[in-house]
Amino acid sequence: MPSNSKSLLRKFLIWKYKHIPEQNFIYILSILVGFLAGLGTVSLKNLTHYIQLLFELNFFKNYQNSLYFIFPIIGLLLVYIIKQTWLKKHIGHGISSTLHAISKLNGIIPRYNLYASLITAPLTVGFGGSVGLQGPAVSVGAALGSNAARLFHMNTKTRMLLIGCAAAGAMASMFKAPIAAIVFAIEIFSLDIAFTSLVPLLLASVSAVVTSYFFLGTDILLRFELIDKFQINDIPFYIVLGLVTGLTSVYFSKVFFGITNFFKQFESRAKRLLIGGLAIGTMLYFIPPLYGEGYGIMNNLLKGDHLSAIGTTPFNLDLSNIWLVIGLLLGITAFKAIAMTTTFGAGGVGGVFIPTLVMGSALGNAFSKIINNIGFHFNVSESNFTLIGMTGLMAGVLHAPLTAIFLIAEITGGYELFVPLMIVSAISFAITKYFISHSIYTLKLAERGELMTHDKDQNVLMVLDIDKVIETNFIILSPDMKLGDILKKAVAKSSRNHFPVVNEDNEFLGVIRLDDIRHIMFNSDLYDKVNASSLMQADTNIIDYDKDSMNTIMDKFKTSGAWNIPVIKGGKYYGYISKSKLLTAYRRQLINFTK
């Protein structure tokens, strides 16, 4: 930042400190962050829209099926070039990366995230990559919130709150659903639901929605008009739909992790691009509805036009055969997850939120068609089941049943369907939770012990920095060191009462405690006869710097009753953690969380 700008910022911060209460300034920042997040989301949508408009020219339409194969590869290649030659940084999945920043980086998100997804996501989606824009919108918004907090020297707790405000703003701007956006921020990011948090979330959400209306008008992404009211007789079918969406959510998650692990075995990004690009191109050639985000599929199914939703395929299929239509819709459900994850594996940038909705709409519509055509004279609303299928997939895949209920109800005005929305989302979430403990956003973070939850004690432990509680100023002994040297060079010069013993490779061998040698300290006859290896004791409680989370470390202190535990890093001795220092750090962090 130029010196003049720094001087102006310093003057402003001094003036703010004197004239604006801290809480009021947080409200102002939440409005600003909501506006910026809305602006970022609008920019993402417009950039993607303009790219897609190019492919609607007559020249491209004449070769549409063939270009379905080529365009995604071109988009992925452009993203690859930008990453390799300009950004030279990793662009993670928006929501997962944001959760990691909250839990392990004190909410500090690098500045390049302000523009990285803003450039690469429209290229991925605009050229046909089968992913969504919600994740990148959250990534851009979260980076705005984090860096705004840093600019104005806000504390860690406020920084995390502003990240949540930005996430809510991105959701509100994308779907014009401010209430669902607040629920999303609380449910996904595990934000505190105290009144002091809700007001900034509300202000950010409203600010983002107003921004979206200002730039995009009254257009909404999903258009739904409730025609068929909820029928109590349909409850058994909704229960079955909940079971089906739950199992499909498990399938979605298994496919996501399976394909992701498959691409990880290729170290070369170019090889990933080649394999993934060809796979995506092939899928889109045979199943054109997988192209891009998929809003056309959802909107056409919601208004009952399955022919437009399926579109033109390279085969001359008889789409008057309803069972063939059902098969194609189930194919879209199955292959959308594959195409989406392959796009990620090939290096594309996007989100999983919208593909989840697409799968749910196709599955719900196919389910209702099966019921209406199995010959038992049932008649259920296909549009309602399409809508509620989206809820079931979102509740299961994202482990966010409340967000699913409020989002679908709010963006479609389908509040009269609250009962089936709750039935399906609850069943789907319960089934998915049984088989997969965490969502695709959070599973890897949870496995590493880096996942924020609504458990405040757990969160305090998670954000503690292990480096700040490790003490390295211990006098180290070698195993062949004589008792006399131990007393002269270690005991006499240290205020500690225990001394680590390590070998030439700095591997931890054991510890000598002052109490262990107190009875022979003044026996000079032993000074040259007894060495450290015969005096040391093996320490069974050892902290692994690379593997143990702070929660695991706390458990080791609790179960062992020890006051000091050695730390190894990369198999080498690194230092000690004392219970007193750990508890002091914990209490300080707890104060930051609760004040």
Confidence of residue 100 (pLDDT cuts 50, 70, 90): confident
The answer to whether residues 446 and 480 belong to one domain is no
Closest CA to 292 of 116, 38, 45, 63: 45
Asked whether residue 224 is assigned to any structural domain, the reply reads no
> Model's pTM, two decimal places?
0.79
The answer to whether residues 475 and 447 belong to one domain is no
Residue type, 91: I
Asked whether residue 221 is assigned to any structural domain, the reply reads no
**pLDDT at residue 454 is higher than 70:** no
The answer to whether residues 89 and 205 belong to one domain is yes
Task: Give the domain-ending residue among 407, 437, 453.
Answer: 453
- Mean pLDDT throughout 244-272? 91
Closest CA to 110 of 119, 120, 124, 100: 100
Q: Which residue has the tokens 């230092």?
A: 575
- Mean pLDDT throughout 442-454? 60
pLDDT value, residue 319: 76
- Mean pLDDT throughout 111-119? 85
The answer to whether residues 297 and 163 belong to one domain is no
pLDDT value, residue 367: 95
Asked whether residue 562 is assigned to any structural domain, the reply reads yes
pLDDT value, residue 62: 56
Task: Give the domain-ending residue among 427, 453, 479.
Answer: 453
**pLDDT at residue 242 is higher than 90:** yes
Confidence of residue 340 (pLDDT cuts 50, 70, 90): very high
The continuous run of DSSP H or E covering 459 comes out as helix 456-463
Structural domains in the chain (count): 3
pLDDT value, residue 56: 65
Query: In terms of residue numbers, what domain contains 510?
Result: 458-594
The answer to whether residues 436 and 515 belong to one domain is no
The answer to whether residues 288 and 419 belong to one domain is yes
The answer to whether residues 308 and 437 belong to one domain is yes
What value does the mean pLDDT of the chain take? Answer: 83
The answer to whether residues 445 and 495 belong to one domain is no
Asked whether residue 417 is assigned to any structural domain, the reply reads yes
pLDDT value, residue 533: 80
Asked whether residue 152 is assigned to any structural domain, the reply reads yes
- Mean pLDDT throughout 480-490? 82
DSSP3 helix / strand / coil % (the chain, rounded to 5): 70, 5, 25
d(CA 542, CA 566): 5
The answer to whether residues 422 and 318 belong to one domain is yes
**pLDDT at residue 455 is higher than 60:** no
pLDDT value, residue 529: 79
Closest CA to 542 of 507, 517, 491, 496: 507
pLDDT value, residue 65: 58
Asked whether residue 222 is assigned to any structural domain, the reply reads no
Joined tokens for residue 505: 């490779």
**pLDDT at residue 511 is higher than 90:** no
**61-70, 188-197, 356-365, 495-504: range with highest mean pLDDT:** 356-365
The answer to whether residues 247 and 354 belong to one domain is yes
Return the CATH number at 70.
Answer: 1.10.3080.10
d(CA 544, CA 539): 13
As beta bridge partners, residue 544 has 568
Are the CB atoms for 325 and 306 separated by under 8 Å? Answer: yes
If one compares 22 and 15, the residue with the highest pLDDT of the two is: 22
**6-10, 318-322, 462-466: range with highest mean pLDDT:** 318-322
Task: Give the domain-ending residue among 418, 453, 488.
Answer: 453
**How many helices and strands in the chain, by DSSP H and E?**
26, 6
pLDDT value, residue 425: 95
Return the CATH number at 487.
Answer: 3.10.580.10
pLDDT cut 90: percent of the chain above it? 20
Closest CA to 553 of 471, 473, 466, 457: 466
If one compares 104 and 241, the residue with the highest pLDDT of the two is: 241
Q: What's the pLDDT tens digit per position in 173-219?
A: 988 888 889 888 888 776 655 556 788 999 999 999 999 888 877 66
Are the CB atoms for 586 and 461 separated by under 8 Å? Answer: yes
pLDDT value, residue 152: 83
pLDDT value, residue 21: 82
pLDDT cut 70: percent of the chain above it? 88
pLDDT value, residue 578: 84
Joined tokens for residue 256: 């996501």
Asked whether residue 402 is assigned to any structural domain, the reply reads yes
Asked whether residue 227 is assigned to any structural domain, the reply reads no
The answer to whether residues 444 and 573 belong to one domain is no
Confidence of residue 59 (pLDDT cuts 50, 70, 90): low
The answer to whether residues 259 and 192 belong to one domain is no
